[in-house]
Structures are given as structure tokens and as C-alpha cells.
Amino acid sequence: MEEEQHGAARAQYGTKLIKTIADRLSIEFGANYSERRLRDYRQFYLSFDDLPNWHSRVPNLTWTHFRRIMAVPHPDARRWYAEEASREMWSIRTLDRNIGTQYYGRLCAAKREGEQLPKAENIHVDDPKEYIKNPMVAFIISLMKFEFQSDFCNFVENSVDMGKDKITTDSGKQIEATAPVIISASRSTDIPAFYSKWFFNRLAKGYCVWYNPFNRKPMYVSFKHCKVVVFWTKNPEPILPYLYQLDERGIHYYFQVTLNDYVREGFEPNVPSVEKRIETFCKLSEQIGHERVIWRFDPLVITPDITPRILLNRIWKIGNRLKGYTDKLVFSFVDVKAYRKVQNNLIKETHCFTKENVETAELNEVQRLEIVEGLAKLRDVWKAEGWNLTLATCAEEIDLEDYGIEHNRCIDGELMERVFGEDKELVYYLHTGKLPEPDLFGEIPPIPIERKNLKDKGQRKICGCMVSKDIGMYDTCLHFCVYCYANTSRECVLRNKARHSDNNESLIE
């Protein structure tokens, strides 16, 4: 850079130096030397010109950290953010938050004026503000008065249009409840494995209570209009004896069953053996139908001993046992770098990782490609044997259409219409977003050909799920999976479990 620019901070006007170099390097070395990347590298060199000294001072920073810090105009502030982010192991979101709220400037101002120093925010995914992904929005919310927070939480709760129902609570009070058509049970915990009796007790009562994680405000959820329940579980066995009650009520249901093999690594310490889980999976499939049981190998985790080939071998072995018992395999890649809590769990609860190598649990681009190509080959082998298994990713941005791998919708309206199509009221809802109003002769209006976009706006942008109401609660799952973001700690889960009763209105009171 110094040679080409003759020691100047910029090349002479009109030379298009970076573009010219990028064109040459991209041909020889690929996309890592695009014009945009070279501009980033150049800015990095200018921002941290004494890199050999910095390398030992900021060992915990990733390239993404540096890209965020390079945008800070003042050199002293850049250096301070780099050292502080490394020392405190800030996540990208924490760094974004503290830069966006000008924490360094406020710190300097407080020192000058002799005030109490402001405290940097270290963000964890269990922080309710993390539901609001924009860092500035979360910061503004943190400054709001509580009454306004409550109004904001009401807006978030009601952003999905659901029906209403008047219910009588266990204590005799008349309450207006939300009456969703589709209930998720649950992304936040394993209701089939640990809370089946509670769920069916509440079904008999006609409602349950869910607590808003923002402000602990209760939301009453009526089952009056419920047409479909989507269950998520690692162990469906405890719920099998109760399912007939849903059939008797005319409520449809299907299962997302996670069946991994991380036994040697101890990643899922409280799940049954692989053999037992396969047996239960097949039993469930025989009971309700293979199209209503989705197999998830999720998430995919790499260790120093687990290579992509070993992961594929484990999927192959399980798949050979599930052949004909499911129509779909859903997978995702573990997220480690963004979640400090997951990093800590992988280090503390397993023998596979240290502080120095924990981020290697997250697959790199080459490893992901090896997995994707391997899964496509497994699918083709199974197809040749007569098993037409669909492959899909869950909440992954990567486009794998060339491999015949689709983006999954866990709350899937098309699946519901295909499997429960005889229920015309449900089909009408799936196309319009509202239940039909029968005429005087009990006939429902014609079902529109086109579908209304019913994507759940409360989920991530890349999530394909349609609207539903989840009734689970965080910090209640007793599987204690080390890669899970839904539990704050084992101790917190055990405290909540002690507060649970199958007769409660909610999972925990």
C-alpha cells in the first residue's frame, strides 16, 4: 500500500488503484480479494498500523469485531474499544450497542466532570431486550419508563392478529384471552418430554397462561379456536398416551423431533439413548403417520474429534433406521460466536473445548459445504432405495437450491393443508389469516386460490414460519443441552422446575 500510494493515505485521484489491484487479485485468488474486501484491508492497515503489538493485546477479537471498530473515527476510541472488547469478550451485538451509544465518549465526559462512570452493557441472549434486534431500539427501550415499556410489550404481543375469547380463570375471574388458531409447544422448552400432563390439564381447562419475557405480564391463551398444535421435542414418549385427547377434540397436530447423536460428547446429557429415541420416533410415526413427524438433526456441531465426515456417518446410521418413518430431515449449523453463554457452556460442560478453540465448534465455509454435499449424496442413495426424503435448513441464510435443499418452515401452512386438508375451516384460515363465518345454511365462503402472506413477524427475517402462539417459557427445559440458548443456567432451570405444578395455569407461577 505504501509503495503503490507513495506513502500517502490515498492514491491520486482517478487512478482507481484499489479496483485495479482487486481485479488482478480476484482472478488469481478469488472473492476474498474483491474491491470491497481490499478497502476493508486497507482501512484495517490504516487503523491498526502497529498490528504486531496489537495481536497479543486483543486475542479475542474476530474480523467482524475489527470491521465494526474501524468505523469509529477517533483513533483513541478505536483502540479503547478494541482493548475493552477483547478483555471483556464482548459479542458483536455488545460491541455494536456500546459503539452506537457512544460509550467511550460518555466515559471520557464522566471522567472530566468527576461523575460516576457509566457501565458498559454486555448483552446476553437471555436478556429480554434481545428480542428487539436493532441495538439502538433496545437502548431506547432501556431508557423508557416502565409504563411505556408495558405499552410497547403489548404492541409486540399483539403484532400477530389473533382471535379473542372470554374465559373464566381457575380463580373465577372473567378475562379476555388471545385465541390463536395455531399453537407452538414449544420453541422455548420441551413440553412433550417434561410437561405433557400440564399441557393436557390446561387443554381440559380451555386455556393456559404465558408470561411476557419483557415485563412478566401474563397473557391468557384460549384453546377455543385452536386448529393445530405443533410440538417440538427430543423425547416424545411421555406425550404418546395423551394424544388421543387431541384427536377427540378435532385438533390436528404434528411433531418436530430432534434426534441427534452427541452421546460421546455429552452435549445432550438428559436425553434417552439414541437407540431408545429411534424406537420412540418410529412408534410415534406408526401412531400418527410418517408425514406428521419431522426429523431434525439440529444443530450440527464440530469438535476436534468430530469431522464433517463423522457427522455425516452418524446421520447415515440414524437415517437408515428412520427410513420410511419420516418425509423430511431439517438441519442447521450451530451458532457459537454470537452467543457467549453457549461458548461458556461448551467449555464448562464438555471435555471438547477450551477458551482458545471454542469458536471452532461453528462450522467454517469449507466444512459446511462438505456437510451439504454429503447430505445431498445420502438423500440420493436413500431415494434410489425408495425413500424420498426432503432436506431443509432451519433459519439459515445460505441458499442451497442447487443441491435441492430448501428453506424449512417449522410452522408450515403448506404441510397443514396437505395433511389436514379435509378441515375446510383450517384451509380457509391458511389462505386468509382468519377463520370463516358460515352462512345461514352452515356453508363457509369459497376458499381463495391465492394465499395471504402469514409469515410470523415476531420471528427472524430468515425464518419461514407462519403465525402461531408459542406457550413455552425459557429456563424450563431439563435436557440441559450445552448448545442451547433457551436456558440461562442449570440452576435457574431447577429453581423453575421446583415452582412447576401440573395444575398451574402456566408452566411456572
Say what the pLDDT of residue 154 is. 41
| Tens digit of each residue's pLDDT (9 = 90 or more) over 376-411 | 999 999 999 999 999 999 999 899 999 999 999 999
What residue spans define the domains of the chain? Answer: 158-411+456-498
Q: Which helix (H) or strand (E) holds 275?
A: helix 274-288
- Check residue 487 and give its pLDDT: 87
pLDDT band at 107 (very low <50, low <70, confident <90, very high): confident
pLDDT digit string (tens) for 54-93? Answer: 555 676 788 888 888 888 888 888 888 888 888 777 888 8
Q: Residues of 320-355 as b/e, b for ≥16 C-beta within 10 angstroms?
A: eebeebbbbbbbbbbebbebbbbbebbbebbebbee
Residue 198 CA to residue 205 CA, distance in Å, equals 11
pTM beyond 0.85: the answer is no
Q: CATH 2.30.230: does it fit domain 158-411+456-498?
A: no
Tell whether the model's pLDDT for residue 468 goes beyond 60: yes
Please state, in angstroms and rounded to a whole number, the distance separating the CA atoms of residues 86 and 15. 38
Q: Do residues 366 and 333 touch, judged by C-beta distance below 8 A?
A: no
Question: What pLDDT score was predicted for residue 163?
Answer: 84
Q: What is the mean pLDDT of residues 217-235?
A: 97
Of 168-182, 373-387, 451-465, least confident by mean pLDDT is 451-465
Phi-psi region of 299 (alpha: psi -120 to 50; beta: other; left: phi over 0): beta
pLDDT value, residue 416 = 98
Which grid cell is 121? 452493557
Mean of pLDDT over the chain = 85
In total, the chain counts a number of residues equal to 509
Angstrom distance (rounded) from CA 244 to CA 250: 10
pLDDT at 254 over 80: yes
- Among the residue ranges 45-49, 205-209, 345-349, 482-486, the one predicted with the least confidence is 45-49
Of residues 421 and 462, more confidence is placed in 421
Cα 347 to its chain centre, rounded Å, is 21
Closest to 163 in 3D by CA, of 434, 444, 429: 434
Alpha-helical runs (H) found in 210-273: 244-249
Q: How many helices (H) and strands (E) does the chain have?
A: 19, 12
**In sequence order, which ranges of 385-467 are alpha helices (DSSP H)?**
413-419, 424-432
